[in-house]
Amino acid sequence: MAKGNTKAKIGVSILVHAGMVAVMGIVAYYQLYNVDSSDVAAVNSYLLITSILAVFFIGVSVFMGIFFLRKVAAPIGESMRGVADILQNVSSGSDQVFASAQQLAEGSSSQASSLEETSSSLEELSSMTKQNADNASQARAMMQDAGRIVEKVNRHMDDMAKAIAEITRSSEETGKIIKTIDEIAFQTNLLALNAAVEAARAGEAGAGFAVVADEVRNLAMRSAEAAKNTSELIENTMKAVKNGNELTSSTQEAFKDNITASTKISQLVDEIATASQEQAHGIAQINRAVAEMDKVVQQAAYSAESSAAAAESMNTEVSALKKWMQGLAELVGAELRISSAGTPRPAASSATRSVAARPAKVARQALPAPAVKRKAPAGAAAGAALKKAPARPEDVIPFDNDEFKDF
Amino acid sequence: MKTAAAADLQEERTNIREGKYLTFTLADEEYGIGILKVKEIIGMIAVTSVPQTPSHVKGVINLRGKVIPVIDLRLKFGLPAMDYTERTCIIVIEIARNNGRILIGILVDSVSEVLNIKGADIEDTPNFGTELNTDYILGMAKSAGKIKILLDIDRVMNAEDMAALEKTV
């Protein structure tokens, strides 16, 4: 029935009732006015008529009232049924919301744990990189030291080469002198021989001279011998000097190779150091990203928590509404099929609690060990909170202000 | 008597050969020349070669104004030639010839010493066969376990050489 129609009908019935009451009143007054109170029969008949009329009108009223009530109750009942259905949908919808929020919370929880693992791996990586960089710079310093030492050695080698050249020169000069002495000895020998020849030619007179010549020859021989020995010594010295020279140059060669290798090593070490630096930068960036991710996860957990709490409160409201509806339905006389509200979910909240409660410390010095401990008490508190009727998110999530300080 | 005469002859020969000898080396062998034949010993000096002379005639040298021909004794004896060292010497010898005494220089590897050789140490040259002419060897002297060949320098420089040499001078 259309709303307008119903309203019109009610209006009409009220008017009719009012009209009837008015008529009754007028009739009664007229009768009463016109009738004489001593006329008992007339009064009795008047009373009788009035009573009958009243009963009739009351009956009509009652009948109309019941008739209209019935006509109104059915739509009310239908509307209430409709509302009950909608409430059912709302209830199931809020259950879904809760389930989704729970899933989200679980997902956030696993994500947070992954983040923790990642952050601990990053810690290790970062410390190893730092170690690497330290080692590289140490190696670089040592290479520089080695380079300095090699330079020093090179200078010494040069000095030694100069000294050896000096020795060679002296030996050569000595050799020249020895050669001169040798020549002198030879000439003296010849002179002695000539003297002996002359002495022989002189015959008797030259006998003494022959002796002198002989002695001179002996001296010449001794000179030559000494010169020969000295020249042998000089040759040995020259050989030793040559050896020394060769050793010096081969040592220098070896050191040159050393320098080449050292230079290469230096370059490599520099590259390692630079790479380590860049590695450290990269890790710092990753750290920051992970921290951001953690924040986001925290936010998601918090949102999930809020959603869950809102869904819960909605469910509670719906339950209350259903009760009222039930009462109203009984009043109207309609049958409502209302199922009991909600699914049991005290345990589910603990997942969301633990996510929110775990402060994942990313990019810090120590691994966050105490975070795990919060899970158990938070879950218990959550379970207790759930049973209270209006659960506010702030009550449910044990975030204290001092915990926020860490962030 | 014959033996006595022979012995006398022998003694004479020995006496002749006894005396002082100037020893020198030539191709690792020691030779000796009687000291009276030796005029002078000088070290190696510049030799001016003369064309159209036999190979063993090296040339001439200027010795205090005198021009003296020089002969390489190695080539004369048919020994392989050798480069001159600082010990190479020229022995100036005096040889008697028809027209007087002439000076000749001989190139030797090195000069050793003046030895007084006793007659007892001199042996006669062994006979190597009839073809070989060993007139130019006076004898073999034994000294200090080695043998020195004593040269008769007059015979070393034979007539041919002398003619050639006279031409150069």
Q: What pLDDT shows up at residue A233?
A: 93
Count the neighbouring beta carbons within 10 Å of the beta carbon of residue A57: 16
Calculate mean pLDDT across residues B80-93: 89
Closest CA to B22 of A367, A30, A199, A186: A199
Count the neighbouring beta carbons within 10 Å of the beta carbon of residue B111: 23
Domain assignment of residue B8, given as a range: 4-168
User: What string of pLDDT tens digits covers the 407 residues of chain A?
Assistant: 445 566 777 778 778 778 877 887 787 777 677 765 667 777 788 778 878 888 888 888 788 778 877 787 778 888 888 888 888 898 898 889 989 998 998 998 898 899 989 989 998 998 998 898 889 889 888 888 988 888 898 899 889 889 989 998 999 999 999 999 999 999 999 999 999 999 988 888 888 998 999 899 999 999 999 999 999 999 999 899 889 889 988 988 888 888 888 889 889 988 988 898 898 899 889 989 998 998 999 898 899 989 989 988 998 998 898 888 888 888 777 666 655 544 444 434 444 444 444 444 433 333 333 333 333 333 333 333 333 444 455 555 555 555 545 54
Contact B74, B85 (CB under 8 A): no
Cβ-defined contact of A193 to B111 (cutoff 8 Å): yes
Strands B100-108 and B89-97: antiparallel
- Of A342 and B150, the structure prediction assigns the larger pLDDT to B150
Domain count, chain B: 1
* B147 and A CB contact within 8 Å: no
Lowest-confidence pick of A134-138, B47-51, B77-81: B77-81
Q: What pLDDT shows up at residue B165?
A: 65
Q: Which of residues 13-52 of B touch A (CB under 8 A)?
A: 20, 22, 35-36, 38-43
Q: What pLDDT shows up at residue A367?
A: 34
* B114 and A CB contact within 8 Å: yes
Q: What pLDDT shows up at residue A9?
A: 72
- Name the percent of chain B lying above pLDDT 70: 82
Tell me the CATH number at B137.
2.40.50.180
Cβ-defined contact of A190 to B39 (cutoff 8 Å): no
Within 8 A of B39 by CB-CB distance, chain A residues are 197
Q: Which residues pair with B70 in a beta bridge?
A: B59, B105
Q: What pLDDT shows up at residue B159?
A: 56
**A400: buried, middle or exposed (CB in 10 Å: 19+, 13-18, 0-12)?**
exposed
End-to-end Cα separation, chain B, in angstroms: 50
Output phi, psi for B92, to 5 deg. Answer: -90, 115
Q: Locate the chain A residue with the closest alpha carbon to B40.
A: A194
A266-A270-A273 Cα angle (round to 5): 140
ipTM, two decimals, is: 0.83
Cβ-defined contact of B22 to A193 (cutoff 8 Å): yes
- Of B115 and A33, the structure prediction assigns the larger pLDDT to B115
Tell me how close the Cα of B50 comes to any Cα of chain A, in angstroms. Answer: 27
Contact B101, B115 (CB under 8 A): no
Q: What pLDDT shows up at residue A76?
A: 82
- Specify the amino acid at residue A148: R
Cross-sheet strand order for the sheet of B137-143: B110-117, B19-26, B29-34, B146-151, B137-143, B122-123
Q: What pLDDT shows up at residue A225?
A: 94
Give the residue carrying structure tokens 């005639």: B57
Within 8 A of B22 by CB-CB distance, chain A residues are 193, 197
Question: A35-42 — which CB contacts under 8 Å span 24+ positions?
Answer: none
Q: List Cα–Cα distances, B28 to A180, A193, B25, B136, in angstroms.
A: 26, 20, 6, 19
Mean pLDDT of chain B: 82
* Close Cβ partners of A319 (under 8 Å, ≥ 6 residues apart): A341, A342
The per-residue b/e assignment along B125-150, b for 16 or more CB within 10 angstroms, e otherwise, is eeeeeeeeeeebbbbbbeeeeeebbb
Q: What pLDDT shows up at residue A391?
A: 46
